[in-house]
Structure 1
Amino acid sequence: MRVVVSTESRLVRTPDGRVWTMHVPAYGFWQRYLSAFDEVRIMARIADQDSVPEGMVRVDGPRVDVHALPYYLGSRQYLRQRRRIGHAVAAAAGPSDAVIVRAPSAFGSLLARNRRRQGLPYALEVIGDPYDVLGPGVLSHPLRPLLRQKFSTQLRRDCRSAAAVSYVTEQHLQSRYPAAPDAVTAAISTIDLPPTAFVAAPRPVARCRTAEAHLVSVGTLDQLYKGIDCLILAVARLAASGVRVRLTHLGGGRYQPDLERLAAAHGVTERVSFAGWVAPGEPLHARLDEADVIVMPSRTEGLPKALIEGMARALPALGTRVGGIPELLPPDDLVEPNSPDALAEAVRRMTGDPERMASASGRNLDRARRYSRDVLTPRRADFYRSVREATESAVRGMTRPAPAGPQPARHR
């Protein structure tokens, strides 16, 4: 059986027909679906390019292909191409295919609606919250309130009608987007940390003593929902009060020049550096290991992979009370979003207490082990098998001959 999986990732196709992505999810990610299915078809936006951009990695490969949707950016382009997108979505999956929608997703919801109309099952993997992603201060758009309501309502409907739903959080997304009572549900992060992602032991107290605290933050700068502007302001407040601290951000995007100007305007250019995109694996581990504290000042989150990766390196951590972050960190290590003063005070208290940092290091390392490959792979495979079984059952029901009606009486 083939599974069709929708993704909001924007991909690149070269003239040889191969498909590429700048970061993730790459081919290795999609192989996880092969634990229960014979083939994987990815449904995604694709832009054609003449050559492979530097740093890109393959998406397709043996038993994994890509179904191209028209390429668009933003809601305005989506609306202009909605008819073409609708036709492409309808052609992505046949009645005998299983379907998994990685939500939230505008065209993923179109696919779910098509399945409902055909009386066919589908599953969801809920990896984010449109209510938070489209919240004030996260996205600047004149239709933001309407889009927020539309996509939140749409996701609730999709969850209520799905045969199976997995969530990246343990409670947060489940409470906002509940599944039907008879649906198969699971709490399974999309994170897949191999043994090499983990350090052997927590940091000792001596390692936590430092004259200048080195903070690290990780995430895209294509939007401001990661809250890095708030973190820069917190660094400025700390510097003004005499606390020696510096910040390295891992990740790039279109807002980086604005954030660089913000750091300059507050006199902390020398304390804030932007490393750009860092390759996963050893390059990322090396960057994390150099830091003293990982800070996740997000305005919205599902369950942040970057934070768990930092915890797997036994980093003390601070975050905001949004999304799944409170499922990872204790209340004392959390602050409200959009509060540079509260964030600065949290950094000051954490970095000024080596014993607290050492305790957080051990606790975070233990918590991160719950997201190891050995723990999550069997649970994920069980969920995918349940999706396959639901699809097979529906297909059998469609192909089974209808029972004969009552026969008219014969009269001799």
Structure 2
Amino acid sequence: MKLLVIQEQHFKQLPNREVWVDEQSNIKFWERYLNVYEEICVCARLMHVDSIDESKYMRSDRDRVHFAGLPNFRGVGGLIKNLFKVISIMKAQIEQSDCIIFRAPSPISMIAYPLVKRSKKPFAVEIMNNPATHFSKKAMQNFYQPIITYLMVRQTRSMCLSANGVSYVTDRVLQELYPSKARIQGQSTNYFESSYSTIRLEDSNYRFEEWKEDLPPKVMLIHTGKMQDNRKGQDIFIKAISILRKKGFNIGGILVGDGVKRSEFEQLGKDLGIGDDLDFVGWKAGFEAVQKELIKSHIAVFPSMGEGLPRAVIEAMANGLLCIGSKVDGLCELLDEDLLVPELNEDSFALYIEKFLNNWGTVESKRRHLYEISKKYHNNILKQKRNGFYSKLKSLGKK
């Protein structure tokens, strides 16, 4: 049986037809679908390139996985320009597939949804984030932002009410905002619901090192996220470090990520006089590379404007870091109240971090608690949930 996965990510393809990706969707990622389906087709934006930087990208192609490339557009303007070609490719792939899963909300899912719905084929939606915060005015600077947010929120609600299956990365937050038909009318063979993170953590990805009770000579904070906009709050992270250093704390920051805003963030650090205390390490492909930065750190800080259930936070928890984040979306399911910052500004984040710097003896129990929570997201546990969800969809494709 053939499953069509409509994916939001950008992929790159070499002349030898190898496909590469910068995060998440590597060779192992597709196993979650191949455990249940005999063949999958990935419909996503694909750029043809002559070479690839293997330090920043991971192989994605493998046996039983076929890629149907969409034009490699960006932004609303790019989507409008390529709309007819995108629709044509999607229609062809939907016709050739038995079941469809799309990961939403996203511009790609916005186009795919009406096409899939009209096909009458069984489909499921994997809800990755809250469109109300992910596409909010603060998160994206775009003339069309109000329209985009309105359409995304409206369509996400519609998708959840129409799809045969809906899975959420959260246990309750997104379910309450975007309820599925199964949640409203009750689970059945035709309509069902599940929850599981997109993360993949194996035994080797967990690490907990004992720390001394005294405050380290230099406390390292870490932030992980793409630098395409201010959505992940790198500016707040940098300003909070500046505030704490002015108060006399010897702290530094590691920023994992890259994007068009990187030079702006680097300049911000220099303007605040803390350029030498910030280490911009660039984008890291694969968790093993990220883990090398995590083990250098003590506190992971996430001043995000919107999240689903952030993998970066779970990864930090699984490596024994204290985590502090915005009081928004799925972060509220991962972190205790005293680790959630209600105000999204540098003063508030600095205040919450300072509280633990002044009471370092309380950090050990906090980070151990977070480490134990992260075990809920081990791949062996999530694999069972995914297999059950995908099998229910597959059974509808056989009818």
TM-score under structure 2 length normalisation:
0.94
The alignment status of 1:377 with 2:383, answered yes or no, reads yes
In the alignment, structure 2 segments of 5+ residues that lack a partner are none
**1:344 maps to which residue?**
350
CA contact (8 A) 1:298 1:337 kept: no
Please give the residue correspondences for 1:110-189 in structure 2 after superposition, counting only pairs within 5 Å. 110-180=111-181, 181=185, 182=187, 183-189=191-197
Higher Rg of the two aligned structures: 1
User: Mean Cα displacement is larger for which, 360-369 or 7-16?
Assistant: 7-16
SS in 2 for 1:93: helix
Please give the residue correspondences for 1:38-77 in structure 2 after superposition, counting only pairs within 5 Å. 38-55=38-55, 56-77=57-78
The alignment status of 1:296 with 2:302, answered yes or no, reads yes
**1:203 maps to which residue?**
210
Deviation for aligned residue 1:104: 1.0
Counterpart code for 1:187: S
**2:244 maps to which residue?**
238
Distance, in Å, in 1 between the alignment partners of 2:322 and 2:210 is 9
In the alignment, structure 1 segments of 5+ residues that lack a partner are 394-412
Task: Name the CA shift for 1:32/1:194 in 2 (closer, same or farther; >3 Å).
Answer: same
**1:193 maps to which residue?**
201
CA contact (8 A) 2:4 2:97 kept: no
Distance, in Å, in 2 between the alignment partners of 1:31 and 1:208 is 44
CA contact (8 A) 1:203 1:362 kept: no
Deviation for aligned residue 1:63: 0.4
Counterpart code for 1:40: I
Distance, in Å, in 1 between the alignment partners of 2:269 and 2:155 is 39
The alignment status of 1:285 with 2:288, answered yes or no, reads no
**2:6 maps to which residue?**
6
Q: Flag as ranges the 4+ runs of structure 1 deviating above 6 A.
A: none
Distance, in Å, in 2 between the alignment partners of 1:325 and 1:352 is 24
Deviation for aligned residue 1:24: 2.7
Provide the alpha-carbon RMSD of the alignment: 1.6
Distance, in Å, in 1 between the alignment partners of 2:222 and 2:362 is 18
Counterpart code for 2:360: P
**1:358 maps to which residue?**
364
CA contact (8 A) 1:11 1:46 kept: yes
- CA shift digits 1:330-386 (9 cap, x unpaired): 000110353111100111111222221101111011000000011111111111101
Counterpart code for 1:184: F
Deviation for aligned residue 1:305: 0.6
Distance, in Å, in 2 between the alignment partners of 1:155 and 1:290 is 39
User: Mean Cα displacement is larger for which, 88-97 or 29-38?
Assistant: 88-97
TM-score under structure 1 length normalisation:
0.91
Distance, in Å, in 2 between the alignment partners of 1:296 and 1:145 is 25
**1:314 maps to which residue?**
320
Distance, in Å, in 2 between the alignment partners of 1:263 and 1:96 is 50
Q: Percent identity?
A: 27
CA contact (8 A) 1:109 1:158 kept: no
The counterpart of 1:262, out of the listed 254, 260, 268, is 268
The counterpart of 2:337, out of the listed 312, 331, 335, is 331
**1:403 maps to which residue?**
none
CA contact (8 A) 1:23 1:57 kept: yes
- CA shift digits 1:65-114 (9 cap, x unpaired): 10111220100110111111111110112265110011012232333322
CA contact (8 A) 1:5 1:99 kept: yes
